[in-house]
């Protein structure tokens, strides 16, 4: 019993490191105006390079980082081997992708920016987030009947 | 210009993009976690309303890190808006300003268009579509696609997953269609 309890305690504490990464991530989101509805409109109207620059350079840094992790067999801070989960293709990436794209164009936000927008004080975005959670739930409910 | 003043300026893409890219190795090295945000919405469903749906029957507590991560994003948004805020209104492309003015959108004081997305607007057809329908499409679409811009466009492309490339292209097609073809009708509601 006691061992179990201390284990949970450790796990809870352990998660704070992800919160720190999230905080830094949220600051970048707001400071680079990625969470701005206006910047998303500019992106889809081809009026600004900003969002393309952000996503493009993020992917480049990501590709290089993953390459370095694989090449030097970098382990986690706890000495665990880093594993990757290959994604398998299904029709969801097309149908779901298009549906998300439509929602992205309306709300001007992906899931991450929704959290950051609420943090900035745009409290009405809580409704958008709750609706996104509802959308996820409805997907789960109809999952077996949807084409994949 | 001192450092704090510099930080308060809007950050250019070549600063923000690499910092976002570094989230990928940061999460992997901290605890073997794949970068992804839309999964957090699934974990909330699994934790709050699993309703015996197979898709929500899993040990969400093992994914608690993801909820801490998104809580951090919220806190980060608060810190940036309250302590590192840019006092000037957003600088937006003049064509967009002219275009949005047609729909009465003139307030650039906030990153979120306050004239479109606020509690009062929720009861209007336009506000309802913008917040409720838009949010629903984000949640439904990302889960159907198996990820969002973070999971597919950044993590997926970083690990050279071609299904993620397909998803990212579809995200962009959906966005272009909405903003250029459908949104003018929604804004006119």
Q: Which chain B residues have a beta carbon less than 8 Å from that of A137?
A: 45, 49, 51, 53, 56, 139
Cross-chain Cβ contact B76/A27 below 8 Å: yes
Assess B175–A contact: CB distance below 8 Å, yes or no: yes
Over residues B139-157, the pLDDT tens digits come to: 999 999 999 999 999 999 9
Question: Per-residue confidence of chain B (189 residues) as pLDDT tens digits?
Answer: 688 888 899 999 999 999 999 999 999 999 999 999 999 999 999 999 999 999 999 999 989 999 999 999 999 999 999 999 988 889 999 999 999 999 999 999 999 999 999 999 999 999 999 999 999 999 999 999 999 999 999 999 999 999 999 999 999 999 999 999 999 999 999
pLDDT in the model for residue B88 = 87
Compare CB distances from B21 to A26, A58, A104 and report the shortest one's residue: A58
Number of cross-chain residue pairs from A and B with Cβ atoms under 8 Å apart: 509
Compare CB distances from A57 to B13, B53, B121 and report the shortest one's residue: B13
Assess B105–A contact: CB distance below 8 Å, yes or no: no
Q: What does the radius of gyration of chain A's CA atoms come to, in whole angstroms?
A: 19
Cross-chain Cβ contact B170/A94 below 8 Å: yes
- Residue A44: is it exposed, middle or buried by C-beta count within 10 angstroms (0-12/13-18/19+)? buried
The structure's pTM equals 0.94
Q: Which chain B residues have a beta carbon less than 8 Å from that of A122?
A: 110-112, 114, 117
CA-to-CA distance for A28 and B21, rounded, in angstroms? 11
Compare CB distances from A97 to B51, B73, B141 and report the shortest one's residue: B141
Assess B49–A contact: CB distance below 8 Å, yes or no: yes
CA-to-CA distance for B154 and B74, rounded, in angstroms? 20
Give the Cα-Cα-Cα angle A141, A143, A144 (nearest 5 degrees): 110
Q: Which chain B residues have a beta carbon less than 8 Å from that of A27?
A: 76-77, 79-80, 84
User: What mean pLDDT do residues A1-10 have?
Assistant: 42
Structure token digits, residue A18: 């992800």
Over residues A70-83, the pLDDT tens digits come to: 999 999 998 889 99
Q: Which chain A residues have a beta carbon less than 8 Å from that of B99?
A: 45
| Contact of A33 with B111, CB cutoff 8 Å | yes
Q: Which chain B residues have a beta carbon less than 8 Å from that of A93?
A: 145-146, 152, 163-164, 166-167, 170
Other beta carbons less than 10 A from residue B128's beta carbon: 16
Cross-chain Cβ contact A103/B135 below 8 Å: yes
Structure token digits, residue A2: 């006691």
Is the interface score ipTM higher than 0.90?
A: yes
CA-to-CA distance for A103 and B163, rounded, in angstroms? 20
CA-to-CA distance for A15 and B131, rounded, in angstroms? 31
Q: Which residue has the tokens 């992790």?
A: A69
Nearest Cα residue in chain A from B92: A38
Assess B128–A contact: CB distance below 8 Å, yes or no: no
Q: How confident is the model at residue A1 (pLDDT cuts 50, 70, 90)?
A: very low
| Contact of B88 with A34, CB cutoff 8 Å | no
Nearest Cα residue in chain A from B81: A120
pLDDT in the model for residue A12 = 77
Compare CB distances from A38 to B19, B73, B92 and report the shortest one's residue: B92
pLDDT in the model for residue A2 = 39
CA-to-CA distance for A30 and B30, rounded, in angstroms? 24
Query: For chain A, what is the HEC assignment?
Result: CHHHHHHHHHHHHHCHHHHHHHHHHHHHHHHCCCCCHHHHHHHHCCCCCHHHHHHHHHHHHHHHHHHHHHHCCCECCCCCECCCCCCCCCCHHHHHHHHHHHHHHHHCCCHHHHHHHHHHCCCCHHHHHHHHHHHHHHHHHHHHHCCC
């Amino acid at each position: 019993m006691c061992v179990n309890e201390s284990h949970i305690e450790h796990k809870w504490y352990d998660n704070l490191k992800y919160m720190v990464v999230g905080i830094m991530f949220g600051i970048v989101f707001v400071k680079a105006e990625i969470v701005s509805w206006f910047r998303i409109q500019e992106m889809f109207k081809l009026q600004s390079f900003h969002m393309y620059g952000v996503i493009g350079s993020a992917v480049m840094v990501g590709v290089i980082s993953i390459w370095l992790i694989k090449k030097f067999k970098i382990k986690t801070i706890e000495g665990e081997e880093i594993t990757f989960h290959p994604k398998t293709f299904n029709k969801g990436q097309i149908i779901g992708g298009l549906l998300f794209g439509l929602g992205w164009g309306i709300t001007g936000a992906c899931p991450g920016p929704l959290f950051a927008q609420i943090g900035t004080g745009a409290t009405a975005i809580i409704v958008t987030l709750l609706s996104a959670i509802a959308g996820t739930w409805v997907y789960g409910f109809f999952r077996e009947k949807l084409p994949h | 210009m001192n450092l704090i003043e510099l930080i308060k300026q809007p950050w250019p893409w070549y600063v923000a993009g690499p910092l976002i890219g570094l989230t990928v190795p940061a999460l992997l090295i901290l605890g073997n976690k794949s970068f992804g945000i839309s999964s957090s919405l699934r974990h909330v469903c699994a934790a709050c309303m699993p309703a015996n749906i197979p898709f929500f029957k899993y040990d969400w507590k093992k994914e608690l890190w993801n909820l801490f991560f998104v809580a951090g994003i919220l806190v980060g948004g608060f810190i940036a808006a309250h302590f590192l805020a840019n006092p000037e209104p957003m600088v937006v492309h003049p064509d967009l300003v002219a275009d949005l003015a047609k729909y009465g959108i003139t307030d650039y004081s906030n990153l979120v268009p306050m004239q479109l997305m606020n509690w009062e607007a929720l009861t209007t057809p336009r506000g309802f579509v913008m917040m409720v329908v838009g949010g629903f499409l984000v949640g439904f679409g990302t889960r159907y696609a198996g990820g969002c811009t973070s999971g597919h466009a950044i993590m997926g492309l970083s690990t050279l997953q071609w299904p993620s490339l397909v998803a990212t292209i579809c995200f962009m097609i959906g966005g272009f269609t909405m903003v250029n073809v459908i949104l003018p009708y929604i804004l006119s509601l």
